[in-house]
Chain A
């Protein structure tokens, strides 16, 4: 677990339900999340939901955090174009669902991606989208 990870008690203090805290804990220990440590990381949260920032901050390698509230248009700048990358890029966050959905759709156009998502409560999802660097370039 990363050093900035919240404890279960800390998670509950952010206002999420016990079920959401459990879902986040499971997500953080999933093989998918643990396998992506060598990537560049960008982390998103939704400022409309105060708990979103605390939870996003608990994700591995989280800071700096980027605010995104609903409108995915502003995310285009975070998706690399068709140029080959030299390192994996991991986009992650605690946001509403359209954010990872749109990022995944945009990234798939040019890149091989791995995507994991888990619902935390009615509005928020924790997710990670890894845009893979081509093996030949690594």
Chain B
């Protein structure tokens, strides 16, 4: 099989680079040929199957090996794409943005370096998954809760660096990050915040240190390789009560969001609560063919049948109460009274949900930091296995939520896709995470999905909505929408990129940031 070389690199230079990598990590940890199947994007949406194909992969076991690999990559001009666990499947998985890039797989750097029960933090390496950290905390008996995203097999560090979210009060993962160790593109090692002070005891306790706060530069970027990261953990609360609130009509979304905003901003709703659309909830428990064999949007009669059979609403809030019972009782009274204003509202606790595989049971685990894979079952809805996320951000405002909902729903129906989404409530913003399901074996469906996705990006941007995260194939599209003042932000990113990484070896094209060496050919 002909190797998929990095652009502009000769076969000889590439072979020399691989030989240098083998000397650093050993033969067993440099992967080529068939061994690269793990680094393919399983849900690739674009017709060119090689668009994100790796040329090789190398798996270091230590920070020193990462530094040595980076230096060798500079010497040979070979680009690297760092991954932690590579499980970010709706956004490209372990695959690199640019075809021919060598994946720098940090899976062997999987040490939990420290957990402080008294101060509530962990210091981890990139290869530590949520399952790993959860198991460690349980084994040690620490009274600490982890905050987990939906699938729990991803990297604690990787998720925070990609601005991922979870569902406890600690759900904003990057906000809970404290202190990094970073290998710069020239191989130099840096510690951020208090970590820069030799002998400090506060690296995982105080984020800002002295001088500019630079940790954000190493998130969703290609400015460095984070090899250690602190993450804050939540002390186990004295009480916990998950709940679900269901609403019966499509148009209820507007009133629900407007009720929710003051509750969230005022911290009556304590956690990162979510509003889930009917079909997203239904799809975790059933498939489309169990309700219809006809293509096209589901008629209202079918939607009502699904609601009745699964005892769910057109919209469904999943949230939880945390604290002493008296505090939870008081908070619940406010929440219940607030949402009772919406006609037909139903309130559910775990003990009310008797159906097998009910989503609240899974959410009850996730909202207390127990990692699961339950959410993955929704992609069986249409049976084709492929999905990507379209994730525009808006204010927590009912009119904005309805505008986004109708805009995206109508386009999805026009292109023959079912609408399913989560509105995730942040501190001041609403993440509208739309799941676009497609049959990954059907090129014609994939073409439609790709066309639809690009259209949604353009229309959302025209309406003032930007995506907070995206699949590899759309990074340039979305970066281009952040174009205020003649793309001043991208120019700044490129200036930083060229200063830190003059040879352009680190993650070319990540988030639309191309190094000078590839800029002309990719942007």
Task: Name A's B-contacting residues (CB within 8 A).
Answer: 48, 69-73, 75-76, 96-98, 101-102, 105-106, 108-109, 119, 122-123
Which 7 residue pairs spanning A and B have beta carbons closest together? A70-B377, A96-B380, A73-B372, A72-B373, A71-B374, A97-B385, A73-B373
Given A96-B383, A97-B383, A101-B385, 4 further pairs, Cβ under 8 A = A69-B357, A72-B377, A75-B373, A123-B383
Quick one: given A69-B357, A96-B383, A97-B385, are A123 and B376 in contact (CB under 8 Å)? no
Rounded to whole angstroms, the CA-CA distance of A123 and B382 in the bound complex is 7
A109 to B377, CA, bound (A): 21
Q: A122 to nearest B CB, angstroms? A: 5
A-chain residues with CB within 8 Å of residue B446 when the two chains form the complex = none
Report how many residues on chain B are interfacial, defined by Cβ distance under 8 Å: 28
Residue contacts A-B, CB under 8 angstroms, 29 given: A48-B286, A48-B287, A48-B290, A71-B372, A71-B373, A71-B374, A71-B377, A72-B373, A72-B377, A73-B373, A73-B374, A75-B373, A76-B131, A76-B373, A96-B377, A96-B380, A97-B379, A97-B380, A97-B384, A97-B385, A98-B376, A98-B379, A105-B87, A105-B153, A119-B383, A122-B288, A122-B382, A122-B383, A123-B383
Q: What is the CA–CA distance of A96 and B374 in the complex, to the nearest angstrom?
A: 13
> Any chain A CB within 8 A of the CB of B177?
no
Q: Judge if B46 is at the interface, Cβ distance under 8 Å.
A: no
Write the chain A residue with the least CB distance to B152. A73
Instruction: Indicate whether A106 sits within 8 Å of B153 (C-beta atoms), given known contacts A71-B373, A76-B131, A97-B383.
Output: yes
Contact flags (1/0) for B42-64 with A, using CB distance below 8 Å? 10000000000000000000000
Known: A69-B357, A73-B372. A123 touches B380 (CB 8 A): yes
Please give, as numbers and ranges, the residues of chain B lying within 8 Å of A98 by CB-CB distance: 376-377, 379-380, 385
Nearest B-chain residue to A75, judged by Cβ: B373
A69 contacts which chain B residues (CB < 8 A)?
356-357
CB-CB contacts below 8 Å: B439-474 with A: 441
Cβ of B285 under 8 Å from chain A? yes
Distance in Å: Cβ of A126 to nearest Cβ of chain B: 14
Nearest Cβ on chain A to B141's Cβ, whole angstroms: 20
- Nearest chain B CB to A66 CB, angstrom units: 15
- Cβ-based interface call for B431 (8 A): no
> What is the CA–CA distance of A108 and B286 in the complex, to the nearest angstrom?
28
Give chain B residues whose Cβ lies under 8 Å from the Cβ of A109. 107
Q: How far is the CA of A69 from the CA of B372 in the complex (A)?
A: 14
Smallest beta-carbon distance B226→chain A, Å: 20
Question: B485 on the interface (CB 8 Å rule)?
Answer: no
The interface residues of chain B lying within 8 Å CB-to-CB of A73 are 362, 372-374
With a CB–CB cut-off of 8 A, which chain B residues contact A72?
A: 373-374, 376-377
Q: How far is the CA of A101 from the CA of B153 in the complex (A)?
A: 13
B386 and chain A: residue at smallest CB distance: A97
Query: Bound complex: CA of A122 vs CA of B312, how far in Å?
Result: 25
Interchain nearest-CB distance for B387 vs A (Å) = 10
Q: Judge if B201 is at the interface, Cβ distance under 8 Å.
A: no
Report the Cα distance A75→B383, complex, angstroms: 20
List the A residue with the shortest CB-CB distance to B375: A71
- CA of A96 to CA of B441 in the docked complex: distance in angstroms? 15
When chains A and B are docked, how far (Å) is the Cα of A123 from the Cα of B293?
12
Residues of A within 8 A of B377 (CB): 70-72, 96, 98
Q: Is B481 an interface residue (CB 8 A)?
A: no
Which residues of chain B are near A106, meaning CB under 8 Å? 153
With both chains docked as a complex, state the minimum distance between the C-beta of A134 and any C-beta of chain B, in angstroms. 12
Partner of A96, one of B131, B287, B362: B287
Chain A residues contacting B441 (CB-CB under 8 Å) are 119
B340 on the A face (CB < 8 A):
no
Docked Cα-Cα span, A29 to B42, in Å, equals 26
Chain A residue, CB-CB nearest to B284: A70
